[in-house]
């Protein structure tokens, strides 16, 4: 069999699995909504101040929501043994990881990005910043899913992997959030923002190239012994 | 005495004494940790080994 | 030449050989480090002249900079050792890498705390989101993650390899993190109180400063060697020679 039909069947399987766990998938979105609603209650209802903080709040919310869902990335496949089969199968394991992470992004990163405009209105972010906010979130969450995939793979064999996953991955998310919010804040302030966006895009492509390899290596540790 | 006029001037560090001495105290604590931790680990290894030996003799 | 190197490398990669040969090393390194650090700190505290701008608080530099230096050097060493372990399947490299973690973490913590203490008289606050302090905090988190990963794994061999992968990810990311934090910092707080470029150091400050760095290097090596020797005893405890060694210890006590 050639690669493409195999990959598309894996992709379809992943999407079906995601559809079956749709209540799990709603969790990050709900979390994102809650963070953005609680923030003004906790800080200030002043729209001008909120607008200033909006890019950061939206980004932190999206990042934490993404983190929340990462723990499940490989877990069920690990527990029912299908992960082991997949690593032994004919298709290159990196493409499988890219497929799984891609689906993870489609069902968390993308919905978070689509939700962001709605929530940004509640935080008084100027409408002109919306396209850039969505672009950075789309790129950034993909990079988060890719980097997070390494952490999810490292902790998949552990009973209480969730907190450890957060500790392992959080430091690696630092550049993503800096360049993501940096671009939006610069645009709101009327400063050039292309450099931040370019850095974010570079992070995403870099992690697309490297993260799957490391994820496969980590999965082999979890499965192999 | 070196760069200082008296011992009390040395301790006072030109009213930065609190900062300098607390920083050096933390430094001493970290060095002490690095020296003591392996020793404790060694003792733990030995007592584990003794316990294992006793169990095997029984 | 190359073959001699390979032979030397193989010899040192055997845990037993390493255990036997490293004993005098950790002893002499430890004593050299003690002497050098003691000289450097007494010199730095007592004899180095007062700094013109910062007064005596600059004396924190003699422990702050060496520990910051070491925390980064040790992280790099962990990544290199992890790579060596993964590629050549050498367990000794993993042992050393694992025991580098607590030493490196303690150095990062020391750099962070002394940095905060130094910040109080210099910037007027304990914590400033200064680029260097922030990336040091991230480094400490990376260390804690490595250690937690080791401890979470049921089989130590899996922990070794998992931590090696994480260390490699971290070492690729560290420059990016540093760069991004510096960028973010210059964006957020232009021209607050910051260390500008360090003024050229007076020789009587520079010598104890360099000595302190050297001393911290030697001390860290001695600590890592001591810890690695214990790690070898623990991990190889099923082998005959380790049992003999432990028996010898138990009788000696």
Q: Do C50 and B2 touch (CB under 8 A)?
A: no
Interchain contact C189–A (C-beta under 8 A): no
Cα A50 off chain centre by: 24
> How many degrees, rounded to 5, is the angle at CA C231 between CA C63 and CA C21?
85
Looking at residue C253, what is its pLDDT? 57
Residue C201 at interface with chain A, using a CB cutoff of 8 Å = no
Do A18 and A107 meet the contact criterion of CB atoms below 8 Å apart?
yes
Which residue in C55, C107, C253 is closest to B46 by CB distance?
C253
Domain boundaries, chain A: 3-224
Q: Are A147 and A169 in contact (CB under 8 A)?
A: yes
Report residue B1's pLDDT band, with 50, 70 and 90 as the boundaries: low
Q: Is the pLDDT of residue C109 over 90?
A: yes
C233-239 mean pLDDT:
88
Provide the phi-psi class of C90: left if phi over 0, else alpha when psi is between -120 and 50, else beta.
beta
pLDDT digits (tens, 9 = 90+) for A79-120: 888 888 888 877 788 888 999 999 999 999 999 999 999 999
Residue C107 has φ and ψ, to the nearest 5°, of -70, -40
Select the more confidently predicted residue: C52 or A61: A61
The answer, for C91 touching chain A at a CB cutoff of 8 Å, is no
**CB-CB under 8 Å, C180 with A178:** yes
C164 touches chain A (CB under 8 A): no
CA–chain centroid gap for C234, Å, is: 22
Predicted pLDDT at C59? 86
> Is the predicted pLDDT of residue C98 greater than 90, yes or no?
yes
Does the structure show a pLDDT above 90 at B52?
A: no
pLDDT of residue A46: 87
Centre a 10 Å sphere on the Cβ of residue A167 and count the other Cβ atoms it contains.
Answer: 18
Cα separation, C181 vs A179, in Å, equals 10
Contacts of C190 (CB under 8 A, 6+ apart): none
In the predicted model, is pLDDT for residue B27 greater than 70?
yes
Q: Say whether residue A214 is in contact with chain C using an 8 A CB cutoff.
A: yes
- For chain A, residues with pLDDT lower than 70 are 1, 225
What b/e readout covers A13-34, taking b as 16+ CB neighbours within 10 angstroms? ebeeebeeeeeebeebbebbbe
Mean pLDDT of C50-68: 84
Question: Greater confidence, C37 or A9?
Answer: C37
DSSP class of residue C195 equals: -
Chain C residues touching B19 at Cβ < 8 A: 57, 60, 117-118, 120-121
Give the CA distances from residue C243 to residues A120, C138, C233, C240, C248, in Å, rounded to whole numbers and listed in that order: 65, 41, 8, 5, 8
Asked whether the beta carbons of residue A172 and residue C162 sit closer than 8 angstroms, the reply is no
Tokens standing for residue B54: 């006793």
Interface probe for C, chosen from B23, B39, B41, B57 (most Cβ of C below 10 Å), is B23
Phi, psi of C51 (to 5 degrees): -80, 140
The nearest CA of chain A is from the CA of C184 a distance in Å of 6
pLDDT higher for B43 or C122? B43
pLDDT band at C198 (very low <50, low <70, confident <90, very high): low
Give the number of C-alpha atoms closer than 13 A to the C-alpha of residue C17, restricted to the C-beta side.
Answer: 9
Shortest CA distance to C16 belongs to which of C242, C223, C243, C246?
Answer: C242
Q: What pLDDT is recorded for position C190? A: 44
pTM of the model: 0.90
**Nearest by CB: A182 against C148, C152, C184:** C184
Distance, in Å, from the CA atom of A59 to the CA atom of C154, rounded to the nearest integer, reads: 35
Q: Do C59 and B13 touch (CB under 8 A)?
A: yes
- The residue in chain C having the minimum alpha-carbon distance to the alpha carbon of residue B22 is C117
């Amino acid at each position: 069999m050639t690669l493409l039909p195999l990959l598309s069947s894996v992709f379809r399987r992943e999407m079906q699995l995601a559809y079956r766990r749709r209540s799990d998938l709603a969790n990050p979105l709900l979390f994102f909504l809650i963070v953005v609603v609680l923030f003004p209650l906790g800080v200030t209802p002043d729209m001008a101040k909120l607008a200033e903080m909006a890019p950061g709040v939206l980004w932190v919310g999206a990042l934490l929501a993404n983190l929340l869902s990462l723990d499940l990335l490989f877990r069920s496949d690990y527990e029912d043994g299908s992960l082991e089969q997949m690593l032994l199968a004919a298709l290159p394991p990196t493409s499988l990881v890219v497929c799984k992470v891609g689906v993870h992004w489609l069902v968390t990163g993308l919905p978070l990005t689509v939700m962001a405009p709605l929530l940004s209105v509640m935080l008084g972010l100027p409408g002109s910043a919306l396209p850039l906010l969505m672009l950075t979130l789309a790129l950034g969450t993909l990079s988060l899913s890719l980097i997070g995939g390494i952490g999810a793979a490292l902790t998949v064999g552990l009973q209480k992997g969730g907190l450890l996953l957060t500790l392992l991955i959080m430091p690696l998310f630092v550049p993503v959030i800096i360049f993501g919010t940096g671009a939006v804040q610069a645009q709101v302030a009327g400063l050039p923002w292309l450099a931040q966006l370019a850095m974010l895009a570079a992070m995403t492509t870099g992690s697309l190239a490297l993260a799957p390899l490391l994820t496969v290596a980590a999965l082999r540790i979890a499965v192999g012994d | 005495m070196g760069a200082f006029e008296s011992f009390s001037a040395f301790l006072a560090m030109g009213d930065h004494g609190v900062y300098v001495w607390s920083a050096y105290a933390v430094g001493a604590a970290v060095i002490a940790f690095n020296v003591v931790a392996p020793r404790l680990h060694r003792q733990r290894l030995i007592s584990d080994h003794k316990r294992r030996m006793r169990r095997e003799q029984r | 030449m190359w073959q001699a190197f390979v032979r030397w490398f193989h010899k040192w990669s055997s845990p037993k050989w390493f255990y036997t040969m490293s004993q005098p090393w950790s002893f002499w390194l430890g004593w050299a480090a003690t002497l050098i650090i003691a000289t450097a700190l007494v010199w730095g505290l007592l004899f180095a002249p007062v700094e013109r701008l910062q007064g005596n608080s600059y004396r924190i530099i003699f422990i702050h900079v060496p520990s910051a230096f070491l925390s980064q050097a040790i992280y790099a060493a962990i990544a290199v050792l992890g790579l060596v372990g993964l590629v050549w399947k050498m367990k000794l490299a993993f042992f050393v890498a694992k025991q580098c973690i607590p030493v490196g973490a303690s150095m990062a913590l020391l750099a962070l705390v002394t940095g905060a203490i130094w910040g109080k008289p210099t910037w007027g606050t304990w914590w400033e989101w200064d680029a260097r302090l922030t990336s040091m905090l991230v480094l400490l988190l990376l260390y804690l993650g490595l250690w937690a990963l080791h401890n979470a794994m049921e089989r130590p061999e899996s922990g070794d390899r998992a931590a090696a992968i994480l260390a490699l990810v971290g070492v690729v990311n560290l420059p990016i993190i540093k760069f991004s934090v510096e960028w973010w910092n210059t964006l957020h707080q232009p021209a607050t109180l910051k260390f500008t470029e360090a003024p050229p150091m007076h020789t009587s400050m520079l010598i104890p400063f360099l000595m302190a760095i050297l001393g911290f290097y030697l001390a860290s090596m001695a600590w890592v060697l001591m810890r690695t020797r214990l790690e070898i005893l623990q991990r190889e405890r099923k082998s005959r020679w380790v049992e003999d060694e432990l028996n010898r210890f138990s009788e000696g006590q």
